[in-house]
Amino acid sequence: MDYRSTLNLPSTPFPMRANLPKREPEILKEWEESAIYHKIRSAREAKSAFVLHDGPPYANGAIHLGTGLNKILKDMINKSKLLLGKNIHYRPGWDCHGLPIELNVTKNLSEEEKESIDTIELRRRCRNFALKFVDKHRKSFKRLGVIGDWERPYLTLSTEYEGEELRQFAALVRNGYVYQGMKPIYWCPSCVTALAEAEVEYEEHTSPSIYVRFALTEESKKQLIAQAPEIDGRPIHVVIWTTTPWTLPANRAVCLHPNFVYTLVPTPNEYLLIAKDLSERFISETNIKKAGNLIGSFTGKELEDLKIHIKPPLDELEVPLICGRHVTLEQGTGAVHTAPGHGHEDYLAALDYNLEIFAPVDKHGCFTDASPVCHGMKVDEANPVIIKMLHDKGLLIHKENYLHSYPFCWRCKKPIVFRATRQWFTSLEKDDLRDRLLQAIDEVAWIPSWGRQRIRSMVENRQEWCISRQRAWGVPIPAFYIGESEEGILNADFIDELAEIVSKKGTNFWFHAMEDPSLLEQFTTLKRLLPEGAQLTDVRLEKDILDVWFDSGVSHHSVMALEENIYPVDMYLEGSDQHRGWFQSSLVTAVGAGKVPPYKAVLTHGFTVDEKGRKLSKSLGNFVVLDDLIKQTGADVIRLWVAAEDFRGDMTFSNEILSRITESYRRMRNTVRFLLGNIYDFSPSESVPESERLSLDQWILNRWRQCKKRIIKAFNHYDFHRVFYDLNNFCSVDLSALYLDIAKDRLYVSQKDGLERKSCQSSLVEIAIELTAVVAPILSFTGEEIWTQLRELGLTSEESVFLYELNQKIPPIDEELMERWDKIFMARGEIVKAIELLRKEGSIGHSLDCSVTVEPPDEKWRTLFDEAIQAKRGDHPLSIFIVSEFQTGSIQNGDNVYESSLVPGMKIHVSKAPGNKCPRCWHFDKTVSENGDEVCPRCNDVIG
């Protein structure tokens, strides 16, 4: 007889093979048709909201894995908040202005076309380019399973946004934080624009390192001899060390530290003035021939007081020796070549000594006619020319290549220069703004906690923010000039008037007004600001645009405060590089306008790297295009990878890691499939009260509650890698390896409607519902797919898993029950080891072939086994140990005796089970005939 039809075999349409690339778009379509985000918002209307403000990615190029990681993290947080009873508010946004987009639009244009293209036409192309990628990105983000208000994103190019951005700028102007200055800033000759600190990356770079002579003037030489009469008539040179020879034409001083001691190194033909503490190192590096002992000891301040002047090697000027505390003894000579137009510290020193801010380099990084020595050359081309000139003049002491960290443009990846230009700045020093920013930082929760000190140190060392950019695609800096004056005029009332117009017509109005001054008739403030005798035709509008970090930095005002009526928000979440970017620009614009910090908490994640720790990039060949990866694996596998990695550090991605994650996903899916397959005929009305369930069924429920408690804590602390670990461990160990391995016998074999089976199903249903709910923030598509099955079985009522709220009130854990089962499973583990020894010998096949005798080590263990032998079949040792016969007793040492190392004193004897194999349940029983036609008594009771 075929007994298969008498078994309660699993049945479910939930497929073992996920086929995520095909199935996920079907679920996504269902979400879109049901407007799931808005349905959730409506259902949770009475609940308190969690507001995560989306940092806008650039609407530019294909989305890479790092951007996907960011969006998945945000979505997991939002969905975990839903699970824990909150409402959510998530409005995605895009940064639509700036250099990245403009470069993409112009990269295929010829140089002639770049010079001749009309500004309005260029801006039109940039706008279309940005909107095209907004649509592409939106599809990709939705494909990742990210829910939000996708039909109503915020775009920094919208007229309303631009208008509010100008109003926020007006607030900073009104408070006196914005000024125009001539100072050295980061400048990219390739992109032809100023850069902010957040747009600079540091990489290893090889520069020419040179020691150069600066000759003392005759008058200064006399002054020095008066202090040290032993000096003879040999020339005296101050020695400087530099890695930027191209800045020598802009030299305006040599700087010493006021407290360092300087001395003269005598050589056969000259004296060299350097810091005394660096003299031995200098002589060793340069192979200078020392001719006698060091002469004199002068502090930098003493030399400054002598009014010493020197002659730069490439100029006929005489420049002073000055003092500055930025000079160090780490490298060089303790005498620093000072070019105020090409260095920040040099610039600050120049302000103290009223030196010229001279920078003879144009926007393309080429020397102007103000530097006849190198006129027309690019700065890197000028280095070897200048070095040769120094050599020919006898002023070059030593040259070698020097590997060091150097600033590169974040966009074009090319070296930048420090170049003094007229720019617009936001001051962090006026009215103690920096102090208020630091105070605001301390009011925010930083996750991880080191984020607080990271941004504090950046703000502490920052004096201003360069907010002007020499581009066309962006929000114009609303300043104007009169006639040929280079002094820009900013007026808050004028900017407010402009904001009203821009809110309706957009910022193209500004660029039209550059060509048509009659458009300026609309400004009553402008007419009032004109000096006597000036006309509107004398007005020149500023051509520079605002830094794009200013664009995105005011989203807290333009979007959240005004449109959403939410301020501050609960969280900002971006990569750790945004401590110097969006987090900081948002803080400056908010606090500068008199507001509290725009965020209550800031969470940062690391970067995506390969198995060698290298950042994923096209140049290294390890770049991952997100859309391609989704087509390969589906979104849920990528989401599981994000959850499995600790986002607080860099997150490693490789094919090997992806393979492991895929296997983890497969195990979880198969576990859930087993649950669904064994509750197909269960109705909630059949649920067995927990107190009446079998002990093992109570154990797994308690085990789940312990896991659930840890998961809730992990969700609240954003520890998704801990959620992954607990879920993976519960599914793999507690459920699959223990409980389900034991329970499947009674699920399949026991009476269909009997207590043994319904008790088990009652626990399985509770776990299946909650397990699906807690997995859904991570495996969103799979969670919804499981939920659909549960709903069709009549086990849940919510239309979507994201409408379900997890009950966080966890009943007390039955510690006595858990302790008892810990001991039973300890014994089970030892029995499995004993059986495995016989299996390796080939004596037995399945564990059901076995008869097991255990000699308990003490009375407590004996009582435990005796109680188990008296229990119902599901709690009986035959079920727990999956054997055909079990008893306790004394065991004599001999063959097939296993002495437990885990439970000292316990002996286990394994032998072949007596009787024959039941054709229905596969247990051996003495009553079953040899031909196997009859079933065991247990099965006979079930089938009659």
Amino acid at 932: G
Residue 5 is classified by DSSP as G
Residue among 240, 524, 506 nearest 397 (CA): 240
Residue 855: strand pairing partners: 907
Residue 855 is classified by DSSP as E
Question: Does an H or E element contain 280, and which?
Answer: helix 279-286
Cis bond upstream, residue 531 (ω within 30): no
Distance CA 474, CA 547 (A): 8
- What separation in angstroms does the CA of 158 have from each of 61, 82, 95, 557, 566? 20, 31, 11, 14, 20
Amino acid at 513: A
What pLDDT shows up at residue 199? 78
What pLDDT shows up at residue 563? 94
Burial class (CB in 10 A: 0-12, 13-18, 19+), 430: middle
332 in Cβ contact with 278 (< 8 Å):
yes
What pLDDT shows up at residue 709? 96
306 in Cβ contact with 227 (< 8 Å):
yes
- The residue ranges of the chain whose pLDDT is under 50 are none
Q: State the maximum Cα–Cα separation within the chain, in Å, rounded to a whole number.
A: 124
What pLDDT shows up at residue 618? 66
Q: Which residue shows structure tokens 């979400």?
A: 31
Residue among 75, 198, 232, 95 nearest 144 (CA): 75
What pLDDT shows up at residue 187? 87
Burial class (CB in 10 A: 0-12, 13-18, 19+), 249: buried
Write the Ramachandran bin of 531: left for phi over 0, alpha for psi from -120 to 50, otherwise beta: beta
Residue among 914, 898, 936, 926 nearest 850 (CA): 914
What pLDDT shows up at residue 619? 64
Residue 246 is classified by DSSP as G
Amino acid at 101: I
Cis bond upstream, residue 268 (ω within 30): no
Which long-range contacts (C-beta less than 8 Å, at least 24 apart) are formed by 527-533? 529/489, 529/491, 529/494, 530/482, 531/482
What pLDDT shows up at residue 840? 87
831 in Cβ contact with 868 (< 8 Å):
no
Residue among 99, 179, 187 nearest 421 (CA): 187
The values of phi and psi at residue 22, to 5°, are -95, -40
Tokens of 620: 């290294």
Q: In this structure, how many other beta carbons lie within 10 angstroms of the beta carbon of residue 11?
A: 11
Tokens of 143: 């494909």
What is the number of residues in the chain? 944
480 in Cβ contact with 525 (< 8 Å):
no
Residue among 626, 583, 584 nearest 604 (CA): 583
Tokens of 166: 């100008």
Distance CA 699, CA 594 (A): 57
Tokens of 76: 């997991």
Distance CA 225, CA 231 (A): 6
Distance CA 471, CA 877 (A): 78
209 in Cβ contact with 401 (< 8 Å):
yes
Q: In this structure, how many other beta carbons lie within 10 angstroms of the beta carbon of residue 399?
A: 16
Cα three-residue angle 711-74-56, rounded to 5 degrees = 170
Q: Which residue shows structure tokens 């409408």?
A: 803
What pLDDT shows up at residue 565? 94
Q: In this structure, how many other beta carbons lie within 10 angstroms of the beta carbon of residue 854?
A: 26
Residue 325 is classified by DSSP as T
Q: In this structure, how many other beta carbons lie within 10 angstroms of the beta carbon of residue 842?
A: 7
Distance CA 357, CA 359 (A): 7
Cα end-to-end span (Å), the chain: 14
DSSP string covering 434-450, please?
HHHHHHHHHTSEEESTH
Residue 574: strand pairing partners: 604
Distance CA 609, CA 615 (A): 4
Per-residue pLDDT tens for 58-96? 888 888 898 999 999 999 999 999 999 999 999 999 999
Distance CA 587, CA 593 (A): 10
Distance CA 320, CA 270 (A): 20
The values of phi and psi at residue 392, to 5°, are -65, -30
Q: Which residue shows structure tokens 């894995």?
A: 65
